[in-house]
Amino acid sequence: MRLVQEIIYRLRSAWPERSIARDLGVSRRTVREYRERAEEHGFLAADAPLPDAAAVA
């Protein structure tokens, strides 16, 4: 679950999807899917806390 939290953290920090994918060794599609899910749950809002492992499971 740490990978998902790291992807969300980097998305919130305005990293490009391509850079996240390359740096973490996942596909751009994977990053895009996590972005969509994070947006649905409000995890990308600047004032929202980062989700814990249970929230992203």
| Domain coordinates in residue numbering, the chain | 2-56
Q: What's the chain's Rg over C-alpha atoms? A: 10
**CB-based contacts of 55, cutoff 8 Å, min separation 6:** 41, 43
Residue whose entry in the numeric block shows the structure tokens 């989700």: 51
> Can you give the pLDDT at residue 27?
98
> Can you give the pLDDT at residue 22?
98
Which amino acid belongs to residue 42?
G
Cβ atoms of 46 and 56 within 8 Å: the answer is no
- Cα–Cα distance, 10 to 54 (Å, whole number): 19
> Can you give the pLDDT at residue 49?
81
> Can you give the pLDDT at residue 46?
81
Digit-coded pLDDT (tens) for 5-55: 999 999 999 999 999 999 999 999 999 999 999 999 999 988 888 888 777
Output the pTM of the full model: 0.86
